[in-house]
Amino acid sequence: MSDEIKILIIEDDEVDQMILKRYLRTSLLNISIQFVSSPMEAYPLLKSCEFDCILTDYNFPGINGLEFYEELKEKEINIPVVIVTGMGNESLVMEAMKAGIIEYLPKDNLSTETLEQAIQNSLRIHEFKTRAKKAELELDKQERKYQTIVETVSDIIIQLDPNGAIVFANPAVECLGIQPQDMVGKHIQDFIQCENMYSMLPQIVTKESGSRATRNLEVKLKKQSAQQNNSNYNSITVMMDAKGIWDIADSLSKSPGTGSSFIGTLITARNIEDQKQIENQLRASQKKLIESNIRLEMMTKIDSLTNISNRYNFDETIEVEIKRAKRNNIPISLLMMDIDFFKQFNDTYGHQAGDDCLKKVAEAFKFTLRRSADFVARYGGEEFAVILPETNENGCLRVAHDFLRNIEALKIPHEKSKASPFVTISIGGTTSKGNGISPMGLITAADRALFESKEKGRNQVCIAP
C-alpha cells in the first residue's frame, strides 16, 4: 500500500456523495477519491485501476452491498469494503460481519473521525488477513514439498542368508555412507549400533513370518563418514521390519520348518531421521501460523487507539452474556458512557490531545473494573460501553459512580466543559433479568438513560427503570 490511500466510492445519491466528499476532504489522511454511482460502473475501474479501499452504499437497483461484495470475491478482487448505508439494523450488521465486511457505518452517524477510523481499521485488518493467507499458502506449499520427500524416500532393503550374512542390499543403503556391494558377505550385526545386541539380534535375524514377524523395531544403523576411517561410525535411526523367507508361501506353511526350507530374512528399514526433522519443521511452521492467526483475531477485536475491545467484540460478547443470563436466570447490567463536551475538547486542544484523552479514559475504565467477567469496549468515537454480568441495579450504580470518580480524578483539563474544569463523563445504565432480555433492548434502555444524564447537566449517572 502506497502513502496515498486510493478510495473508490460507490454511491448513487448526489447529496450523500457531497457529504462523503466533504468529510473525507477534511481528513488528515492522504486520500484520493473516485466516485461511481453503481457497482456496474465500478467493475471496469477495478480492472484498470488499483484501489486500497471501497466505500459503498447498501441498496442499488438489482443488487445490494453484500451481493456486490460476494461478486468481488468471486472475481478474486481482493479489496477491503466498508458499507456506508442508512439501512442500519442489528441482523444486517451481523450478516455483513459474517460475510467478511470489516466495517459497517450508518449514515446518520458519519463524521470525519468515524470514516477515518473505518478506513484505517479496514486497511489494517485486510493487511493482516493478507499476511495470514500468504503464511497459509506458504505452509501448504512446504507441507506438499515435505510430503513429496517423505513419499519418495526409498526404503532400505536387505536380504540375509540363514546365518545373518548379507546377500543383497539395494542402493538406498548409500545413506549409510557405503555402497551396496561392500555390504554383501558381511554379517548384519556389523552395521547395527546397539548396547544389548544379545536381545536385539534375534528380532532382526528372524525366521518368523506373518503376524509373528518383527515390525516397527527402532534400530540405529552405523553410518560411516567419508572423512573417517573404517572403524569410526556415527548412526542413523531407522524403523525396521524383518520377516523370515521360506521356500513356500506363508499361506501354505502355517508352521515354518514343516515341509519348507528357511532361505533367510528380508529386512526393510525406513530412515526416520528425515521424517523426524520434517515433523519438527512442520510443527514449527504450524506454531507460527497459529500465533499469526491469534494475533490477527486479536486485531479484529481490539480498538487500535485505546487498546480495549472494539464494537465488533462488544456485539459478540453481549450476545454471549445475555444467553448466559437467560440460561441461569441471573441479572445483567449495561452502562453506556460518553465523554462530556468531547468535540469542544478536540477543537480546543487538538486531535492528538483528544486521542491521548481517549487512551487515559480507557485505561481508567480498565482499572475500575475488578472482576475478570466485566467487559469494557469503545463503542464508537468518545462513547464506551460496559457489560456487567451477574450484576443487579445496586451493583450497576456503584460501578457507575466509581467510573465518575476515577475519570474526574484524572484531572485532565477541559476549559470548554460546562460540567467541570476537568474531563468528565455522563453515564446511562440499565439492569435486566429474565427471558425478555435482548441486546437491542439493553442498549436502547442504557442509551435513553445516557440521554437523560446529558439533559440533566452531564457528569452524572442515570439508571433506566
Q: Work out the pLDDT band at 66, boundaries 50, 70, 90.
A: confident
Over residues 394-437, the pLDDT tens digits come to 999 999 999 999 999 999 999 999 999 999 999 999 999 877 88
Lowest mean pLDDT among 62-66, 336-340, 364-368: 62-66
Mean pLDDT of 226-245: 73
Please write down the HEC assignment for all residues of the chain.
CCCCEEEEEECCCHHHHHHHHHHHHCCCCCEEEEEECCHHHHHHHHHHCCCCEEEECCEECCEEHHHHHHHHHHCCCCCCEEEEECCCCHHHHHHHHHHCCCEEEEHHHCCHHHHHHHHHHHHHHHHHHHHHHHHHHHHHHHHHHHHHHHHHCCCEEEEECCCCEEEEECHHHHHHCCCHHHHCCCEHHHHEECCCHHHHHHHHCCCCCHHHCEEEEEEEEEEECCCCCCCCEEEEEEEEEEEEEECCCCCCCCCCCCCCCEEEEEEEEEEHHHHHHHHHHHHHHHHHHHHHHHHHHHHHHECCCCCCECHHHHHHHHHHHHHHHHHHCCCEEEEEEEECCHHHHHHHHCHHHHHHHHHHHHHHHHHHCCCCCCEEEEEECCEEEEEEECCCHHHHHHHHHHHHHHHHCCCCECCCCCCCCECCEEEEEEEECCCCCCHHHHHHHHHHHHHHHHHCCCCCEEECC
Asked whether residue 15 carries a pLDDT value surpassing 90, the answer given is no
Q: Looking at residue 120, what is its pLDDT?
A: 87
| Domains of the chain and CATH, by start | 1-132 (3.40.50.2300), 156-279 (3.30.450.20), 302-465 (3.30.70.270)
Mean pLDDT of 237-259: 69
Q: What is the pLDDT of residue 150?
A: 38
Task: Give me the phi and psi of 50, to 5 degrees please.
Answer: -100, 125
Residue that has been written with the C-alpha cell 450476545 in this structure: 319
pLDDT, one tens digit per residue, over 355-400 is: 999 999 999 999 999 899 999 999 989 999 999 999 999 999 999 9
Nearest by Cα to 81 from 45, 301, 90, 71: 71
Q: Pick the more confident residue, 376 or 30.
A: 376
The per-residue pLDDT for range 257-285, each reduced to its tens digit, is 455 789 999 998 988 877 777 777 878 87
- Structure confidence at residue 191 as a pLDDT band (50, 70, 90): very high
More confident residue, 282 or 336: 336
Specify whether the CB–CB gap between 345 and 354 falls below 8 A.
yes
**Per-residue confidence (pLDDT) for residue 357, from 0 to 100:** 96
Average pLDDT of every residue of the chain: 86
Q: Model's pTM, two decimal places?
A: 0.45
Res 167 pLDDT > 60: yes
- Which of 42-51, 321-330, 331-340 is the least confident region? 42-51
104 in Cβ contact with 93 (< 8 Å): yes
Q: What is the pLDDT of residues 85-124, one digit of tens each?
A: 776 666 677 777 777 777 777 887 788 888 888 888 888 8
> How sure is the predictor about 253, in pLDDT bands with cuts at 50, 70 and 90?
very low
Neighbours of 179 (CB within 10 A): 12
Q: Interior CA angle at 286 toward 284 and 289, to 5°?
A: 110
Looking at residue 369, its pLDDT comes to 94
Higher pLDDT pick, 208 / 112: 208
pLDDT of the residue at 297: 66
Residue 89 confidence (pLDDT) = 64
What Cα–Cα distance (Å) separates residue 384 from each residue in 321, 327, 364, 367?
17, 27, 12, 15
Q: 54 near 67, Cβ under 8 Å?
A: no
Q: What is the pLDDT of residue 153?
A: 47
Assess whether pLDDT exceeds 90 at residue 208: yes
What is the pLDDT, as a whole number, of residue 227?
42
Of the candidates 284, 293, 312, 2, the residue with the CA atom closest to the CA atom of residue 129:
293
pLDDT (tens digit per residue) in 132-149: 788 888 888 887 775 554
328-332, 381-385, 435-439, 455-459: the lowest-pLDDT one: 435-439
Question: What phi-psi label fits residue 204: left (phi over 0), alpha (psi between -120 and 50 degrees) or beta?
Answer: alpha
Radius of gyration of the chain (CA): 35
Checking if the pLDDT of 327 tops 50, the result is yes
For the chain, give the percent of residues with pLDDT over 70.
90
